[in-house]
């Protein structure tokens, strides 16, 4: 599919109710929800879609429940997503099959394109290939927020009653809000991934293969069309000592008990910035941060899209309130709501990631999974049960 055509930003209105920066799951769902409620939304994305991004491509029950709550229950299946029925967990040389009761696999290229189209169909104006930079608060009786759009050599200033920053992990767009800063956790792992041809591994459809090693983990899943999505989190030390992502991936697969993949050096690897990070504060004058832009924890449990989509749902009532009248209470309320719906869930993943790094932890996990696979399966389903904010407002 060719990239979405690129409209000229100079032709667009310069005053908006809401400008959303970033069209990943968080930004696209927020734009969709607001446009459906009659809000004038501009969704700005720096890349051309469809685009691939490093991600395990597995939608958790939380992510699926959030899509359903947004009226997009059919979206994943319509794009060729399929149910994940089994996890093959490899730890310390032992591979154990674990039944999965829920979850779907869909490539990020398809998912993100479909969400962007849903936002557009709901009435949001979409600009791809355009970078957005947050500006200062605009002077006036009820100062608005300024956003600078950069499209090739063209620049355009627009203003909005509310700006939503959903620009992902590195979100280099916050120059206009110097009070907001990101703290990267010490020893944070980095993400890496690529797409492999269908015949690269004999991985059945509906099976998620997860290899856990001392220096990180590797997840493989077959997506629509048969290709294999490969996503990893690596310690930097392992990346260096293995000569790069391809070597680190094969090291972890072998340590976990899986056979090697065909040579991966020529694959189109993409690497991410350090994964585990916290950004604070999560709000400012006419400004809320959503999704990974608000903080992230390394993706062992595959919850990132669920957190991103949930944060968009949780923000909707506040954005609608802020369109009528913005006050500091909205900023405080967003920090509280984000903590309730996202940060609290991330705390468990952060703790699990830390535990798994302790000497002997892989062996303990190996023992539990190997001897009690049905208990492990029930625990996983319990931990993945969805919980959603009310969005009827
Ligand atoms: C190795 C790995 C495996 C993972 N596996 C899973 C998994 O299996 N399941 C799961 O649920 N999650 C997984 N995740 C997490 C998931 O990918 C993220 O949590 C999710 O993409 C967050 O969505 P988002 O909308 O916040 O950000 P993103 O999806 O990163 O989208 C942000 C968008 O903003 C755009 N942007 C950035 N700056 C600007 C700017 N200045 N102007 C305009 N646009 C801008 C970017 O181009 C991007 O398209 C994984 C992550 C990694 C690293």
Q: Which residue has the tokens 């009659």?
A: 38
Distances (CA, A) of 18 to 156, 316, 319, 365: 16, 11, 8, 46
If you measure from the C-alpha of residue 128 to the centroid of ligand 1, how many angstroms do you get, rounded to a whole number?
16
If you measure from the C-alpha of residue 94 to the centroid of ligand 1, how many angstroms do you get, rounded to a whole number?
31
CA dist., res. 356 & res. 298, Å (int): 12
Query: Packing angle between helix 304-324 and helix 25-36, nearest 10 degrees?
Result: 40
Using a 6 Å cutoff on CB, does residue 44 contact ligand 1? yes
Using a 6 Å cutoff on CB, does residue 61 contact ligand 1? no
Q: Strand 270-274 and strand 190-196: pairing?
A: antiparallel
Nearest CA to ligand 1 atom 2: 55
CA dist., res. 19 & res. 43, Å (int): 6
Residues 6+ apart with CB under 8 A from 301: 60, 349, 352, 383, 384
If you measure from the C-alpha of residue 141 to the centroid of ligand 1, how many angstroms do you get, rounded to a whole number?
36
CA dist., res. 313 & res. 315, Å (int): 5
If you measure from the C-alpha of residue 45 to the centroid of ligand 1, how many angstroms do you get, rounded to a whole number?
12
**C-beta of residue 21 within 8 angstroms of C-beta of residue 134:** yes
Q: 147 forms bridges with which residues in the sheet? A: 134, 158
Using a 6 Å cutoff on CB, does residue 222 contact ligand 1? no
Nearest CA to ligand 1 atom 53: 191
If one counts every other C-beta atom within 10 angstroms of the C-beta of residue 390, the result is: 10
What is the reported pLDDT for 393?
A: 42
**C-beta of residue 33 within 8 angstroms of C-beta of residue 316:** yes
What is the reported pLDDT for 2?
A: 54
What is the reported pLDDT for 10?
A: 60
If you measure from the C-alpha of residue 292 to the centroid of ligand 1, how many angstroms do you get, rounded to a whole number?
6
3-state secondary structure 344-389: HHHHHHHHHHHHHCCCCHHHHHHHHHHHCHHHHHHHHHHHCCCCCC
Grouped pLDDT means (10 residues each) for the chain, 393 residues: 55 94 98 98 97 96 96 97 95 89 95 98 97 82 86 91 96 89 93 97 96 94 97 96 97 95 93 94 96 90 93 98 95 97 87 75 70 71 77 54
Q: What are the start-end ranges of the H helices in 257-296?
A: none
Using a 6 Å cutoff on CB, does residue 274 contact ligand 1? no
CA dist., res. 278 & res. 121, Å (int): 33
Using a 6 Å cutoff on CB, does residue 50 contact ligand 1? no
Q: What is the DSSP annotation of 162-191?
A: EEEE--TTT-TT-TT-TT-EEEEPTT--EE
Least Cα distance to 336 among 320, 315, 350, 319 occurs for 315
Nearest CA to ligand 1 atom 26: 291
The domain spans of the chain are 9-52+106-185+275-367
Using a 6 Å cutoff on CB, does residue 56 contact ligand 1? yes
What is the reported pLDDT for 288?
A: 98
Using a 6 Å cutoff on CB, does residue 188 contact ligand 1? no
CATH T-level topology, domain 9-52+106-185+275-367? FAD/NAD(P)-binding domain (3.50.50)
């Amino acid at each position: 599919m060719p990239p979405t055509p690129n409209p000229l930003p100079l032709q667009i209105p310069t005053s908006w109710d809401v400008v959303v920066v970033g069209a990943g799951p968080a930004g696209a769902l927020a734009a969709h929800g607001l446009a459906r409620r009659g809000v004038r939304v501009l969704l700005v994305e720096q890349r051309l879609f469809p685009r691939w991004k490093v991600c395990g491509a597995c939608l958790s029950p939380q992510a699926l429940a959030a899509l359903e709550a947004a009226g997009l229950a059919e979206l994943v299946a319509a794009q060729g997503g399929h149910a994940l029925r089994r996890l093959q967990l490899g730890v310390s040389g032992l591979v154990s099959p674990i039944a999965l009761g829920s979850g779907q696999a869909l490539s990020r290229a398809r998912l993100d394109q479909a969400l962007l189209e849903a936002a557009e169909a709901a009435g949001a104006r979409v600009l791809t290939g355009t970078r957005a930079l947050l500006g200062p608060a605009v002077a006036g009786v009820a100062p608005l927020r300024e956003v600078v759009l950069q499209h090739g050599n063209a620049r355009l200033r627009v203003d909005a009653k509310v700006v939503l920053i959903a620009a992902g992990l590195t979100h280099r767009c916050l120059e206009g809000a110097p009070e907001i800063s990101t703290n990267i956790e010490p020893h944070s792992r980095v993400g890496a991934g690529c797409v492999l041809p269908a015949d690269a591994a004999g991985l059945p459809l509906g099976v998620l293969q997860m290899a856990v090693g001392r220096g990180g983990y590797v997840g493989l899943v077959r997506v629509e069309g048969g290709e294999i999505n490969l996503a990893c989190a690596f310690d930097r030390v392992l990346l260096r000592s293995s000569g790069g992502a391809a070597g680190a991936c094969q090291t972890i697969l072998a340590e976990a008990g899986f056979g090697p993949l065909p040579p991966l050096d020529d694959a189109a690897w993409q690497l991410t910035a350090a994964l585990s990070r916290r950004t604070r504060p999560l709000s400012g004058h006419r400004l809320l941060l959503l999704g990974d832009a608000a903080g992230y924890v390394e993706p062992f449990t595959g919850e990132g899209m669920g957190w991103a989509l949930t944060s968009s749902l949780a923000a909707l009532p506040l954005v609608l309130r802020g369109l009528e009248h913005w006050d500091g209470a909205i900023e405080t309320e967003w920090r509280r709501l984000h903590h309730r719906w996202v940060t609290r869930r991330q705390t468990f993943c952060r703790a699990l990631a830390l535990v798994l790094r302790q000497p002997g932890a892989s062996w303990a996990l190996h023992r539990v999974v190997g001897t009690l696979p049905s208990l492990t399966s029930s625990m996983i389903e319990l931990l993945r049960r969805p919980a959603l904010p009310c969005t009827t407002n």
